C-alpha cells in the first residue's frame, strides 16, 4: 500500500501488510509457482544483468536508472508481458536506485574531501605565494567577502533579495562574469529554483569554484580553512599537517568503500550460493585473504529465502464478497 505524506511529494511511502493467503490448494500452488519459479529467477537474472551493460558506468556517474532501461533489458531476456514482469521491472529499478544513491553519496563525499585537501587546506605561506599578495591583504579581502556573503545569505533566506541590475551593472558583469556579485546572483537563481536555505559554507565554496581571481580564491580558502572566520593569530603548521593527514585517511577510507561496494546479488532462495561458499571453506584453499573473506561473508550473510513478491496494483485486483 502507498500514501503520500505531502501534497507536493512525488515519492510514495511504502507500507507492508502481512496477510494470510487463503484459497484452494490449486490456487495457492499456482501463486507459489509464479513467485518462486518465474518472478524470483527473473529478478535475480535482471539484477545480475544490469551492471553488465555498457551504460552502467553512465548510471553510476548520474546516480540514476530509469524503469524504461530496466524494461528494455528485461525484454531482452523474455518477450512475455504481464503484471509479473512489470512488477519485476519496478523492483529491480528500486534495488539499483538505492544502490546508486549510496554509490553517489560516497563519490560526492570523496570528491568534496579531495577538493578541500587540494584547493582549500593550504598554508598561509602557500596562499601568499599563489595570490602574490601579503597575508594582511588576504585577511582584509576575507573580511570583505565574509561581510558581503553574510548580508547576502541573510537577505536570500528571508526572501528579501531583489536582483535588479542597471545598465552599467550589466555592462560590468559582462566584463567580469566571475565577480562575486555575479556569482551571488547565480546562487540566488538556484535558491529560487530549488527553494533551499543558503548556507555560509556552501556559498563560500561556490565563490571559490566560480571565481577566476586568485586573491578572491585565496581569501575564500583562508576563510574556509579557519572555520569561516578571520584568524589573526599565527598559523600552527603542525596542526595544519595533522589536518591534512587526517583528510588523506578519510579519502582513502572512502576510496576503499567505493571499490568494495558490492553489487546487488538477489535472493538465494535455493541456498545454492551459501552451500557453494561452505563447500569452498571446507574443501578449497583460497588464493588470498581477500578470497577467504569473500567466501566467509557469502556463507554468513543472511539472505531471505522467501521468493520476491509480485506487486499487484489496484487496477490488477477484483474485490468481491463471499456469499453466505
Nearest CA to 258 out of 108, 117, 118, 66 is that of: 108
Phi, psi values for residue 93, rounded to 5°: -60, -45
Nearest CA to 305 out of 275, 273, 271, 279 is that of: 271
Angle at 93 between CA 88 and CA 98, to 5 degrees: 130
Measured distance CA(180)–CA(186) in Å, rounded:
10
Q: What is the pLDDT of residues 179-203, one digit of tens each?
A: 777 777 776 666 544 444 458 888 8
Annotated domain spans of the chain: 2-107+258-312, 124-234
Mean pLDDT of the region 261-269: 83
Nearest CA to 40 out of 93, 100, 92, 2 is that of: 92
Nearest CA to 91 out of 44, 21, 34, 151 is that of: 44
Residue 114 has pLDDT above 80, yes or no: yes
Measured distance CA(185)–CA(176) in Å, rounded:
13
Whether 180 contacts 211, CB under 8 Å:
yes
Bridge partners of residue 14, in order along the sequence: 2
Nearest CA to 187 out of 140, 222, 155, 230 is that of: 155
Q: What is the pLDDT of residue 286?
A: 79
Pairwise pLDDT comparison (255 vs 78), residue with the higher score: 255
Nearest CA to 93 out of 68, 60, 57 is that of: 68
**Per-residue confidence band for 124, with pLDDT thresholds at 50, 70 and 90:** very high
**Per-residue confidence band for 87, with pLDDT thresholds at 50, 70 and 90:** confident
Q: Which residue has the cell 545480475?
A: 48
Q: What is the pLDDT of residues 39-80, one digit of tens each?
A: 889 999 999 999 999 999 999 988 899 988 998 888 888 766
Whether 52 contacts 76, CB under 8 Å:
no
Residue 119 has pLDDT above 70, yes or no: yes
Grid cell, residue 306, equals 522467501
Q: Which residue has the cell 507459489?
A: 32
Residue 287 has pLDDT above 70, yes or no: yes
Amino acid at each position: 500500500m502507498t500514501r503520500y505524506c505531502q501534497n507536493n511529494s512525488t515519492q510514495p511511502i511504502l507500507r507492508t501488510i502481512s496477510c494470510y493467503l487463503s484459497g484452494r490448494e490449486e490456487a495457492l500452488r499456482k501463486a507459489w509457482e509464479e513467485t518462486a519459479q518465474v518472478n524470483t529467477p527473473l529478478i535475480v537474472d535482471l539484477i545480475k544483468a544490469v551492471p553488465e551493460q555498457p551504460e552502467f558506468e553512465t548510471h553510476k556517474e548520474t546516480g540514476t536508472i530509469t524503469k524504461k532501461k530496466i524494461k528494455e533489458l528485461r525484454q531482452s531476456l523474455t518477450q512475455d508481458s504481464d503484471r509479473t514482469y512489470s512488477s519485476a521491472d519496478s523492483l529491480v529499478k528500486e534495488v539499483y536506485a538505492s544502490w546508486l544513491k549510496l554509490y553517489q553519496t560516497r563519490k560526492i563525499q570523496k570528491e568534496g574531501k579531495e577538493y578541500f585537501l587540494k584547493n582549500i587546506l593550504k598554508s598561509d605561506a602557500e596562499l601568499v605565494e599563489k595570490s602574490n599578495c601579503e597575508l594582511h591583504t588576504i585577511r582584509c579581502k576575507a573580511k570583505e567577502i565574509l561581510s558581503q556573503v553574510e548580508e547576502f545569505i541573510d537577505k536570500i533566506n528571508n526572501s528579501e533579495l531583489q536582483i535588479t541590475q542597471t545598465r552599467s551593472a550589466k555592462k560590468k558583469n559582462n566584463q567580469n562574469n566571475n565577480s562575486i556579485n555575479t556569482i551571488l546572483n547565480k546562487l540566488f537563481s538556484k535558491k529560487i529554483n530549488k527553494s533551499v536555505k543558503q548556507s555560509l559554507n556552501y556559498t563560500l565554496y561556490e565563490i571559490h569554484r566560480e571565481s577566476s581571481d586568485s586573491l578572491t580564491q585565496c581569501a575564500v580558502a583562508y576563510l574556509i580553512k579557519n572555520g569561516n572566520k578571520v584568524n589573526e593569530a599565527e598559523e600552527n603548521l603542525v596542526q595544519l599537517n595533522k589536518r591534512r593527514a587526517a583528510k588523506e585517511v578519510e579519502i582513502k577510507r572512502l576510496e576503499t568503500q567505493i571499490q568494495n561496494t558490492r553489487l546487488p546479488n538477489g535472493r538465494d532462495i535455493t541456498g545454492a550460493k551459501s552451500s557453494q561458499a561452505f563447500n569452498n571453506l571446507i574443501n578449497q584453499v583460497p588464493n588470498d585473504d581477500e578470497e577467504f573473506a569473500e567466501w566467509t561473508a557469502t556463507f554468513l550473510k543472511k539472505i531471505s529465502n522467501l521468493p520476491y513478491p509480485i506487486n499487484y496494483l489496484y487496477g490488477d485486483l477484483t474485490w468481491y464478497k463471499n456469499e453466505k
